Amino acid sequence: MGSRLTPNGFLESRRLLTYLLVAAVALSALSVDWRAGLVHPGGAASAAQIFSALFTPKLAPDFLAIALSASWTTVTFAVAGLTLAIAVGLPLGVLGSGVLLAPGVRRVTTIAFVRVLLGLLRSIHELVWAWLFVVAIGLSPIAGIFALAIPYAGILGRIYSEILVDVPEQPLNALRTTGASEFKVFLYGRLPMALPDMLSYTFYRLECGIRSAAILSFVGIAGLGYQIQLSLDDLLYNEVWTLLFFLVGLVALVDLWSSVVRKSVTP
């Protein structure tokens, strides 16, 4: 008789995973040389200087104008990169879900090929893509946009495909009984039901894109990351906190925008 996955077996498998994770943490802790100095001798004083500046951010009008301009630059590059990622990730996600294809060898091979492609796109971090594009096309904002778009296309395509597959079949079957083709079932049934979750995740990736665009300052994006780097080089921690507050504000605004849009498309 074949083995069955009983509840006890399931619990045992989770317990085994827990043991493996605990063992990995223990091995990592044992690999650290605890006898060496883990903290810089002047680290406490530097940390106190940095965090004390939290309460005295620089609010001079000229610097606020610089922070606002850098914030706008960061947002524009994040939106540009995400837009390109959606343009690539959405059709790949539809193909990777297989919802438009009839069961058979063609469907299986298409899903496998697209999912491997999506895995390749998202397996390389945007910083690595940025270095590659800087070498290929030079220090240009286009390098930053492509560096964001490629891995995000892989991530969005993968998540979109899973969301489309998880749509309940009962409403779709009702459309099929009326003689609707699979494309019409997708367009008028599957996609509208999946849209709220797809939008929610897309806005989450926009939040991530804003943070990534702030980091990719070395490829020609004069955004918040570039200004933070300049302030850190000059040890102007009050300016750093001002710029970080702007970054937090951008993420909060995207989160609020996401909530409004999601409510507008949810029945």
Are residues 262 and 200 in contact, defined by beta-carbon separation less than 8 angstroms?
yes
pLDDT band at 2 (very low <50, low <70, confident <90, very high): very low
In a domain? residue 196: yes
* Helices 237-265 and 224-233, axial angle in degrees (round to 10): 160
Residue position matching structure tokens 């904002």: 141
**Cα–Cα distance list, 135 to 74, 129, 131, 140, 228 (Å):** 22, 10, 6, 10, 24
Residue position matching structure tokens 């609010």: 59
Q: Is the pLDDT of residue 3 over 50?
A: no
> Which CATH number belongs to the domain containing residue 173 in this structure?
1.10.3720.10
* Helices 61-97 and 191-215, axial angle in degrees (round to 10): 140
**Cα–Cα distance list, 191 to 10, 29, 159, 199, 257 (Å):** 34, 47, 14, 11, 21
pLDDT digits (tens, 9 = 90+) for 8-53: 555 556 677 788 888 888 888 777 776 666 666 666 777 888 888 8
Q: How far apart are CA 32 and CA 43, in angstroms?
A: 19
**What's the pTM?**
0.80
Cβ neighbors of 238 (< 8 A, separation 6 or more) are: 53, 56, 57, 58
In sign, the C-alpha dihedral spanning 21, 22, 23, 29 is positive
Range(s) of the domain holding residue 145:
58-265
pLDDT digits (tens, 9 = 90+) for 77-106: 899 999 999 999 999 999 998 888 888 888
| ∠ Cα 135 223 151 (to 5°) | 50
Q: How far apart are CA 177 and CA 164, in angstroms?
A: 20
Residue 40 is predicted with a pLDDT of: 64
In a domain? residue 182: yes
pLDDT, greater one: 11 or 60: 60
In a domain? residue 33: no
In a domain? residue 146: yes
In a domain? residue 44: no
Residue 98 is predicted with a pLDDT of: 86
Residue position matching structure tokens 């296309």: 153
Q: How far apart are CA 88 and CA 243, in angstroms?
A: 32
- What's the average model confidence in pLDDT over 117-133? 90
In a domain? residue 221: yes
In a domain? residue 24: no
Number of domains in the chain: 1
In a domain? residue 245: yes
DSSP string computed for 81-104: HHHHHHHHHHHHHHHHHTTTS-SS
- What's the average model confidence in pLDDT over 139-157? 89
Residue 1 is predicted with a pLDDT of: 44
